[in-house]
Structure 1
Amino acid sequence: MITRERGYALFLGALLIVIILSPMSVNGEESQQCCSQTEFDLFLLGDSDDGFISPFYSDLEQDPVEEIVTSSIGGEVKIGTWEVIWRTEGEYSAEIWNFVIPYELQEAAGFTINATLEVKVGGNTYQGTLSMPELMFTGQGEIQIPVNVGQGTLSEGDVIEITLNVQNLIFSNPGDENTGVKFLWGSEEYNAHMSVKLPLLEIIMNEASVLGNLAYFPVLIKSGFEDRMWSGSEGKAKVQNLEISDSPIAILREEGVEVTFVWEIPDNLNGEIRFDFELVPQPGLILELNKTHDITIGGGDGQNDWYPENEPLRTGGAELDINVDAIFKGNLVERQVSIEFDGSMSQWIRWGLDNIGNNTLDSNSWWKNLNEYSNSIKSSEKHNGKVDDSEILALQNHLIGSKSDLKSFFANGLFLEIESIIGVDPVELGPTTIDINMGKSRAFSSEEIIITIESSYRVEEGQRQLLVENFVRPSAEKYWTEISLLIGMKTNMLTGLGDIYADEMNYELRRWIIMEVITVEDKDIDSDTEFRIEFVPPNSFLFSPLVSAMMSVLALSISLMIGLALTKRRARVPTMITILVLGSLAFSIYWMGLPMQIVLGIVSTSILLVFPISLVSPSSGTIEKISKKIGGPHVKCPSCGKSNLVQSNVRPLRMPCSECNSILRIEA
């Protein structure tokens, strides 16, 4: 009996220890889903003969596409055709789809029009018409055409096509040959669209998981747009009504894109928590879903380093900050380039480094380029949930070992043109060092990563040299959501930057006696902006900061001496004012960094102007005569030659000289 009781006691004790030491667990409700059929807009994009439609507001450009009809017509004119391959299966109900396209009237009082809109949905064709010859359109506005769409079914791969034709276009009181009506689409201001109700996507909230003090909430977005449904939309998540600030992990799945949000669990949290997810592909279309999870705190001894099995996407949003510190030494440029980024691009780097030598990598994965370094990494460090020193060293050696590999990493990995940042093709670089700083954590996260490149290259005098140009590679996807740039380049006292050529980017040039400094700063660069800054190193030392300053001082000194010599018996004020004004102007332009030719031209002008100004200045005798006429009689002191004003009419008169205090006697 005692033995049995001891057995029960041991069993209960062991069970209690297991419960206490077990890690945190999450019990979620059944998977929840939403949004099988949704009302939304399909925006018209692209050229009229090769257009496409998209549900993403972020695809709209700044400038619209235009199609102009410039004369009255009785027949039919095709405005454009737009289409998309739909990859989301499902049924759609009978609805009225509304087509809207903005217009602008040119050089006419108004116009009347008939229009036909043909809509193809898979194998079905629907048509809407605008037949209002009695309605006059004026100025600018929108043309709306309703289309009755019957019930049907969409299969994967079906094409949705929209074609707009106009007929019987007649202008009222037309002007010159520029009379016409302009149809616009494809921009935020002119967002022509078709309002539809179709199966767009399906959002599934799966079971959450916990590892250590981190909770992972996976959300599967199933749509025919794959990862674009996430990267082209605005999305966020909340836990207990508090927004998760860290970038989520986005992974492309066969059925769509899985977005996993990571949340750090507060200490001693027990019970149910609510997780809310929101996706906004376009204004007015807010897709929301929530799920409740029951969290129980255990021992909490799990690891915090959690990596996905598949390569994460780079399109989830990342901030890019580029800092360049350069020194120009006449025939040599030394640059230190710091490239800082976070978000999904940081996740991609961390995951890739930990998967060097992974045989399951996708065939087009950039990280397959590092498979040759697999033997240099210990087995215990491979896929161990963190970035090790050996993995960082492998990437550094790969980038330093070949300039083409350096270009490939930035171009195909980070989608940046490295030659646009460093100023030359990497092949022309001298000895190069690369440092990779993983920031505060080596774990899988969206923490900031800093890549620093130090190198130098030679330049030729008199030839244009690139300082910076647009460095984000054109792509259908948007990898960088925020881009900032800071460049500082300075010279020595015997080297100048010469002429500066800037296009679509501002800069500040300051010239000091011992150096020139050019600064380029922009904290909000549009990835689509085309900009470029170049400089032309001068061929002569005359345009260096020190020599040009010395020449300016010398020229002004010569002007001053000539002016003093020519005005011994003349008024000096006009000459001195001229030299002072031109000297101040020259040094202001010198400091502001305007072309050195202007500075030297101004100081040279001061030498030329001092001659005529000095020669036309009135003589001392003329000034004395003028003073007598203006101020009354004067008497000249025989001792010092000073002309003294006589302020009394009493005669004889004794008065002291205002210069030497000699007593002057005036008899009459």
Structure 2
Amino acid sequence: MAKLSPTFVMLALILLASTLPMVNSESASEESTRMCCSAGGYDLHLIGRDSTATLTPFDDELGGEERVLIENAVTQLAEIHSWEYSPGWGGAYPDSTWQFSLPYEVNNAAGIEINATVEVSIGSRTYEGYSGPGNTYLPAGSSTTLEIPINVEAGNMGGTDTVSVSLRVQTLVFSLPGSDAGVEFIWGTEDNHGFISVELPLLDINMAAPVVEGRSVFLQMQFSSGFGTKMVGSTDITLIAGGTTISTMPVLEIQGQNVLATWTWSVDSSLPDGTYSVNISLVVQEGAEPFQGELLWDLQFGVGDGGSGGVYYPNEEPPITDGSGSRMDIFITGELSADGGRLMLARETKVTFHDSAALWLRWGLNNLGNTSLDTDSTWTMFVGGDVTDEMRNNHLNDEVEIREMSQQLQSGRLMTFLDSGLFLESEELLGGRFSDFQTIEVQVETHGENRIMHSQISIVISTTQMITDGERYTLVRSFIKPQTLTYWDDVSLVVEITSSAGTSFAKIFKDSSGVELSTEHKRLGSSESLQATAENIDVDSSLSLSFQPTTNPIYSPGVLLGIVAIGLLAALIISWRMSKNKSRLALLLEVPLAILAGFAYVLAYPMETLVIITGGTGGLWMITAAISPRRLDKIGVLDSDDLPEIPTIDCPKCSTSNPITTSQRPTRIPCGGCGVILKIVE
């Protein structure tokens, strides 16, 4: 037998080793272990009506009240309403009793007698529950609900099955009805909460092997359900690794129907290598039992090159929303001035993004000109420009990338990016179309953080715009587009606008619904200021803030200040002269009323009101001066020092002092105290 050479054996071993799978951070993430979840108990909320009627496990979708009114007795089978949805996820469900609950209100009757049926369909299987044998009496009153149990047998729900719930009535009769008797079934809000409690599969959670980068550990979990990112963003998730609760937001990536969520665990330097548990608890709605899972992992800290900077970088474009919406802060500043007889508004609109939207913006900024983006990605509207592949691969927001995006937005892409990429109404937010602006400048600010993470990032838009004297100008109006997903939540608005000398806001117009829009308009000597704030703006809120700019001198803060000051001074001088030789006490007490006109001026009361207050104050002074009494020393009344001295005599019996009113001597006068006759000789 021929003998193999050592060189040949070594080459064969190398070739064999090259065919074995290598385990690295990327391949490890592809292999996952199931953590959770079997069928669990939760409520499906009844929301919507008719074609929009559906079922949802998410509390944040409650809010739109729906009502069905029945005014006539029902004597044959009739459907009140039905709701259905496709869970998009399947699995086995156990024997259980579901509970249907629907609020109702009885009007002009003592109650109703009802024979109702709830039909539940899960795919091709159908189950029914009844209000009771025969008719069930439901009394009128507050906090009343129709409750019907449904016994559901164990089965298996397919991923494409539809779950439907239908309420039907065989008999409905009013008890002691009055005129216009009726019953309304209500659902869709927290106060009028219609729901069906179920025990069904909701999701699966699979976890990949943790990826260690120095003292940072990336914990990747795949959420499989029919709800996409809402299963992460609209639920309450608690993740504990090695006894430490992870409080950072996860980085989300869409993988078909699944969502990959990656949390970063920053490991304390005192922890040694070893076996650590990872626990997850997901609560889909308040009061529901959590879906829970736990896995153990052997971890060796300090491996990897540590080049991530402790931040996980998603290879695929992360979603702009996690389903619950991101925080957004809008700060508008500006100045109204006169320019060659025309009015010009120079304003700065700073939009600051947080949470998932901030991560999406930072990731897109780092992928300008990336040719591997999906064709429907918003970021395909940008070109690479001066951005190099090295800059795209360093997973940082470089100055060149920031400058490139700012310039491309400024050159004409801004409005499209706001409208289509960020789901905002650009004209309503900026106060005009792109062509309305005389100048426009855009700057992207990363607030000193250049890593790709959830840290805040801002787009600052500076514009100048000519506006028409005397015509109403809308500074900002409802700017969140209607959307199928929740992109924005907890949106705040702050406005600070000033006017220069010779200009005025004249009149302020505000309107809001579903949100409180507070405004403060002040005059400050030769200028005016307009401030406005609004918190918790969402897609269902509406607001509008406008003013009527003018260069009319009569509305100018400086001119109005002169009118008030001169008017009050003139009225005071006239009143002072009118009160010559009169008591001025009442007038002096009324002089502080001038403060009212001062307040009216500073608080920017309308010009007409300010003139009325000023004129009324001056008029009151003049009336007071006119009716004040004359002083006694000016109407001929003698002073007591100028009166003649009258002699007196004291009675020796009662010591009463008696005036002597005659000069005749001798004379006799009676004592005013005791009546004794007093004789006066000298």
- The verdict on a shared fold, with TM-score over 0.5 as the criterion, is yes
Query: In 1, Cα distance between the equivalents of 2:381 and 2:607?
Result: 49
Give the secondary structure class of the aligned counterpart of 1:542: helix
Greater Cα shift, 45-54 or 476-485: 476-485
Task: Give the corresponding residue for 2:606.
Answer: 595
Give the deviation of 1:565 after TM superposition.
Answer: 3.1
Superposition pairs for residues 170-181 of structure 1, below 5 Å?
Answer: 170-177=173-180, 179-181=181-183
> Hey, what does 1:286 align to over in structure 2?
290
* SS, match of residue 608 in structure 2: helix
Q: Is 1:160 the counterpart of 2:151 in the alignment?
A: no
8 Å Cα contact 1:27-1:293 kept in structure 2? no
Partner of 1:150: 153
What letter corresponds to residue 547 of structure 2 in structure 1? F
State the partner residue of 2:41: 39
Structure 2 counterpart SS, 1:203: strand
Are residues 49 and 107 of structure 1, via their aligned partners in 2, closer, same or farther at CA, if it must alter by over 3 Å? Answer: farther
Residues 87-236 of structure 1 correspond to what in structure 2 (within 5 A)?
87-131=88-132, 133=135, 135-140=137-142, 141-177=144-180, 179-236=181-238
**1:163/1:646 Cα in 2 relative to 1: closer, same or farther (>3 Å)?**
farther
For 1:391, which of 385, 397, 401 is the aligned residue?
401
Q: Root-mean-square deviation (CA), in Å?
A: 3.0
Match of 2:388 among 361, 378, 396: 378
Helix, strand or coil: the match of 2:185?
strand
User: SS of the counterpart of 1:357?
Assistant: coil
- Return the alpha-carbon distance in structure 1 between the equivalents of residues 645 and 462 of structure 2: 89
Partner of 1:343: 355
What amino acid is the match of 1:410? L
Instruction: Tell me the secondary structure at the aligned position of residue 602 of structure 2.
Output: helix
Distance 1:134 1:41 in 2: 24
**Residue among 311, 314, 330 paired with 2:317:** 311
Aligned to 2:670: none
Residue matched to 2:306: 302
Could you tell me which amino acid in structure 2 is paired with residue 338 of structure 1? K
Determine helix, strand or coil for the equivalent of 1:407. helix
Contact 1:26 1:296 in 2 (8 A): no
Name the count of aligned residue pairs: 611
Given candidates 502, 514, 527, the residue that maps to 2:526 is 514
Cα displacement (A) at 1:493: 3.2
Superposed CA deviations along residues 71-119 of structure 1, whole A, max 9, x for unmatched, are 4333444322211123212233333221111112223222222212222
SS of 2:359's equivalent in the other structure is helix
Partner of 2:15: none
Structure 2 match to 1:401: 411
- Structure 1 distance, partners of 2:271, 2:625, is 90
Contact 1:213–1:304 at 8 Å: present in 2 too? no
Structure 1 Cα separation of the partners of residues 372 and 304 of structure 2: 31
In the alignment, residue 356 of structure 2 is paired with which amino acid? Answer: S
CA contact (8 A) 2:111 2:137 kept: no
TM-score by length of 2: 0.83
Q: 2:366 is matched by which residue type in structure 1?
A: D
Match of 1:530 among 530, 542, 550: 542
Conserved in 2, the CA contact under 8 Å of 1:231 and 1:478? no
Amino acid at match of 2:316: N
Task: Tell me which residue corresponds to 1:70.
Answer: 71
Partner SS state of residue 408, structure 1: helix
The aligned counterpart of 2:437 is 429
8 Å contact from structure 2 (residues 504, 551) kept in 1:
no
Residue identity in the other structure for 2:307: Q
Verify: 1:257 aligned to 2:259, yes or no: yes
Q: Displacement of 1:395 after TM fit?
A: 1.2
- CA 1:49–1:434: 2 relative to 1, 3 Å: closer
Q: Equivalents in 1 of 2:482, 2:138: separation in Å?
A: 43
Name the aligned partner's letter for residue 452 of structure 2.
F
Distance 2:640 2:184 in 1: 83
Q: Does structure 2 retain, via aligned residues, the 8 Å contact 1:49–1:80?
A: no
CA distance in 2, matches of 1:428, 1:611: 53
Report the CA distance shift for 1:481/1:288 in structure 2 as closer, same or farther (over 3 A): farther
Does residue 477 of structure 2 align to residue 469 of structure 1? yes
Of residues 277, 280, 293, the one that matches 1:277 is 280
Distance 1:464 1:115 in 2: 57
2:365 is the counterpart of 1:353: yes
- CA 1:26–1:441 in 2, change beyond 3 Å: closer, same or farther? farther
**CA separation of 1:124 and 1:550: change in aligned 2, threshold 3 A:** same
**Cα offsets for 1:324-382 (capped at 9, x unmatched):** 22112151111122222222112111221222233332221101111xx2253223223
1:651 maps onto 2:646 in alignment: yes
| TM-superposition CA deviations, 1:231-252 (whole Å, max 9, x none) | 2322242333333232210111
Amino acid at match of 1:335: R
When residues 196 and 648 of structure 1 are mapped into structure 2, their CA distance, relative to the original with a 3 A threshold, is farther
Distance in 1, matches of 2:645 and 2:80, equals 104
CA contact (8 A) 2:586 2:624 kept: yes
Deviation at 1:201? 0.8
Measure how far apart 1:568 and its partner are. Answer: 2.4
Q: 1:609 to 1:256 in 2, by over 3 A?
A: same
> Equivalent of 1:543, from 537, 541, 555?
555
Q: Aligned with 2:103: secondary structure?
A: strand
Structure 1 letter corresponding to 2:380: K
SS at match of 2:597: helix
List gaps (5 residues or longer) in structure 1: 1-21, 626-633, 637-643, 654-666
The alpha-carbon distance between structure 1 residues 464 and 652, as it changes in their structure 2 partners (threshold 3 A), is farther
Larger Rg: 2
For the residue of structure 2 that corresponds to 1:554, the secondary structure is helix
Cα distance in 2 between the residues matched to 1:252 and 1:465 = 43
The answer to whether the 8 A contact 1:29-1:291 is kept is no
Q: Structure 1 residues 362, 86: CA separation in 2 closer, same or farther (over 3 Å shift)?
A: same
Q: Which amino acid aligns with 1:56?
A: F
Aligned-residue offset at 1:37: 1.5
Q: Secondary structure, in 3 states, of the residue corresponding to 1:176? A: coil
Q: How far apart, CA to CA, are the structure 2 residues paired with 1:493 and 1:77?
A: 71
Q: Is the 8 A contact 1:212 1:304 kept in 2?
A: no
Match of 1:618 among 615, 625, 629: 629
Query: Which residue does the alignment assign to 2:669?
Result: none
Deviations along 1:499-554, whole A, 9 cap, x unmatched? 11222311122222132112223444344321222111246211121110100111
| Contact 1:44–1:53 under 8 Å retained in 2 | yes
Q: Secondary structure at the match of 1:350?
A: helix
C-alpha separation in 2, matches of 1:299 and 1:117: 59
Distance 2:642 2:148 in 1: 98
Shift of 1:33: 2.0
CA contact (8 A) 1:563 1:576 kept: no
Q: CA deviation at 1:613?
A: 4.2
Change (3 A) 1:455 1:499: same
Q: For residues 394 and 228 of structure 1, what CA distance do their matches in structure 2 show?
A: 33
Does residue 455 (structure 1) correspond to residue 463 (structure 2)? The answer is yes
Q: Partners in 2 of 1:101 and 1:539 — Cα distance?
A: 60
Q: How do 1:490-505 residues align onto structure 2 when only pairs under 5 Å count?
A: 490-504=498-512, 505=517
Find the aligned partners of 1:469 and 1:429 in 2 and give their Cα distance: 17
Change in Cα spacing, 1:365 to 1:60, as seen in structure 2 (3 Å) is same
Q: Decide whether the 8 Å contact of 1:49 with 1:81 is kept in 2.
A: no
